[in-house]
Amino acid sequence: MQENLNFRKSHYLCADKNMRQMKRLLIIVLCVMTASVAGAQVQRQKVSTSEVKVTGTTKAENYAEIKFDTLRHNFGKFSASSPIVKCSFRFRNTGTAPLVIHQAFASCGCTVPTFTKEPIKPGDTGVIDVTYNGTDKFPGHFQKTVTVRSNAVTEVTRLIIEGDMEQ
């Protein structure tokens, strides 16, 4: 019995010693981390504007810009017996560099955009044709989005089509 108590006592003493060592190690790690964070603080430096040189290309020198005549088209009311309707979104490159349409995609499969793949020169116009196919769709109001991605300063443009398909 005495032997069992001695074992328990020595076991608790070892556990207590290990716990103290762990606490010391934790305190040391926290001190090192605090010192490294404090040492990593960056001091701000004042720079006079006469020392700053502007380099690189500015927007005014070389950029493409897309400008649509309209961003929304409403088909109005049309019959479900002729459910395919089409519209065109005309745009102009108002920038100083060629405009490239990278991608045009619709919010669902019933809407299909087609666009010019060739670069549009500054000042020239282009068109994105959009076809809505309401075949097997429920009659009523719809609104779909066509997302256009290009190399223009405004990289993403959203076009909206809507209408009312009646039975």
Which CATH number belongs to the domain containing residue 158 in this structure?
2.60.40.10
Looking at the 3D structure of the chain, how many domains does it have? Answer: 2
Please give the biggest Cα pair distance in the chain.
100
CA–CA separation, 80 vs 135, rounded Å? Answer: 7
Asked if the structure places residue 60 within a domain, the reply is no
Per-residue pLDDT of the chain (167 residues; tens, 9 = 90+): 556 555 555 555 556 777 778 888 888 887 777 766 665 554 445 545 555 555 555 555 789 999 999 999 999 999 999 999 999 999 999 999 999 999 999 999 999 999 989 999 999 999 999 999 999 888 999 999 999 999 999 999 999 999 999 98
**Residue 47 located in a structural domain:** no
The token duo for 61 is 């020198």
Range of the domain at 28: 1-39
3-state secondary structure of 121: coil
Please check whether residues 145 and 74 belong to one and the same domain.
yes
Same-domain check for residues 83 and 161: yes
CA neighbor of 15 nearest in space, from 82, 141, 165, 23: 23
- Decide if 28 is inside a domain: yes
Taking only the tens place, the pLDDT of each residue in 7-50 is 555 555 556 777 778 888 888 887 777 766 665 554 445 545 55
- Is 51 contained in some domain? no
Do 29 and 73 fall into the same domain?
no
In a domain, 61, yes or no: no
Beta strands in 80-139 (DSSP E): 84-93, 101-106, 111-115, 125-133
| CA–CA dist 62, 163 (Å, integer) | 39
Identify whether residues 96 and 157 lie together within a single domain: yes
The tokens describing 80, both together, are: 């479900």
User: In this structure, which amino acid lies at residue 4?
Assistant: N
